């Protein structure tokens, strides 16, 4: 089958949408399909069109649907689609959801957060991650710090400096350090990160790192913080679980839908004091840290390439079935 994957993130971008598109390209090629990844779409023929982002890819989705009303269309929903754009831009976002033959959601609670009329064509897909080098659990690590990593572009949706602010509240005896890796969304976020480094000795901003350096950062960390205020299902959760790296995460749907409502490392989103308390406990309570590690290790099996490819094939089959029923 000839499949076009459309993503708003251009070639060479380290944005999550680009990484997802290229990973799906590989997985679907392994399944025998011919894949083209594009950022601009002008009606080129294909057997199936897969768009990442209901709102940002709205124009491409409309072009495809107008040109090929009876060909299968899949739309993958992002966090901003679900938790922002369907409210800010309901006409475009809901058009994409409506015209799609199948929708892909990246965590288990997506069905609760989109209009009920779309749920019957929703397929839940957990993004996969390779198994990196295990993180350093040794108390005799060369680093004098209890290392905490925050990985992702610096922007409002990620609440990127929340862990740094929480680290400020720790006792003077704490050896915790927050290392943040990610490209700033704009000059404002760049200034915020630089200012935080100047004022907060427990924080360092590493800028945008290559994948190998991200893996090293995770391997040398004792904990990861995911402080987002909205997520469609962050791939960094998959990576942490596959690495056995304990996670402290905000209690938003996108995190609960991956980690589970009973995950012991959740904290109220945006609550600096609560996050600081979780960080202090992780640093000083080995049993708590061990329980987090056990949880993520248990979850690791759901983030495999084989399961992700099977979910993609499930979405394709559903789209073809629904499209065939409509065209008939």
Question: What CATH code is assigned to 146-302?
Answer: 3.40.50.2000
Nearest to 196 by CA among 209, 178, 217, 173: 178
Euclidean distance between CA atoms 195 and 93, whole angstroms: 37
Q: Where are the domains of the chain?
A: 2-127+304-327, 146-302
Q: Do 2-127+304-327 and 146-302 share a fold?
A: yes
CB-CB contact of 160 with 152 (8 Å): yes
pLDDT tens, position by position, 255-293: 999 999 999 999 999 999 999 999 999 999 999 999 999
Nearest to 149 by CA among 130, 136, 139, 138: 136
**DSSP letter (8 states) at residue 144:** S
Cα-Cα-Cα-Cα dihedral of 190, 194, 199, 203, to 10°?
90
CATH superfamily of 2-127+304-327: Glycogen Phosphorylase B; (3.40.50.2000)
Cα–chain center distance at 226 = 10
Structure confidence at residue 135 (pLDDT): 52
3-state secondary structure of 132: coil
pLDDT tens, position by position, 105-156: 999 999 999 999 999 999 999 999 987 655 555 544 567 899 999 999 999 9
Higher pLDDT pick, 11 / 315: 315
Q: What is the CA radius of gyration of the chain?
A: 20
CB-CB contact of 56 with 92 (8 Å): no
Q: pTM of the entire structure?
A: 0.89
């Amino acid at each position: 089958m000839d499949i076009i994957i459309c993503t708003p993130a251009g070639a060479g971008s380290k944005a999550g949408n680009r990484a997802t598109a290229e990973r799906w390209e590989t997985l679907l090629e392994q399944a025998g399909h011919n894949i083209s990844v594009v950022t601009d779409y002008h009606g080129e023929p294909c057997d199936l069109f897969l768009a990442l982002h209901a709102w940002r890819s709205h124009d491409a989705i409309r072009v495809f649907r107008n040109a090929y009303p009876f060909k299968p269309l899949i739309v993958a929903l992002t966090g901003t689609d679900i938790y922002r754009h369907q409210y800010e831009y309901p006409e475009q976002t809901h058009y994409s959801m409506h015209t799609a033959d199948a929708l892909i959601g990246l965590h288990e609670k997506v069905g609760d957060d989109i209009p009920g009329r779309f749920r019957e064509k929703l397929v839940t897909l957990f993004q996969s991650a390779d198994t990196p080098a295990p993180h350093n659990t040794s108390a005799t690590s060369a680093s004098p710090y209890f290392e905490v990593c925050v990985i992702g572009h610096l922007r409002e949706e990620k609440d990127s400096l929340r862990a740094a602010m929480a680290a400020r509240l720790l006792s003077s005896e704490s050896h915790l350090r927050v290392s943040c890796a990610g490209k700033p969304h704009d000059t404002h976020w760049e200034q915020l990160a630089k200012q935080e480094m100047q004022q907060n000795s427990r924080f360092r901003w590493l800028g945008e790192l290559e994948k190998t350096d991200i893996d090293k950062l995770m391997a040398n960390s004792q904990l990861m913080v995911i402080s987002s205020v909205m997520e469609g299902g962050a791939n960094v959760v998959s990576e942490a679980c596959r690495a056995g790296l304990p996670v402290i995460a905000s209690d938003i749907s996108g995190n609960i839908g991956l980690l589970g409502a009973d995950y012991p490392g959740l904290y109220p989103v945006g609550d600096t004091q609560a996050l600081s308390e979780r960080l202090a406990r992780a640093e000083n309570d080995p049993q708590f840290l061990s329980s987090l590690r056990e949880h993520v290790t248990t979850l690791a099996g759901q983030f495999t390439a084989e399961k992700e490819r099977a979910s993609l094939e499930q979405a394709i089959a559903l789209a073809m079935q629904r499209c065939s029923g409509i065209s008939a």
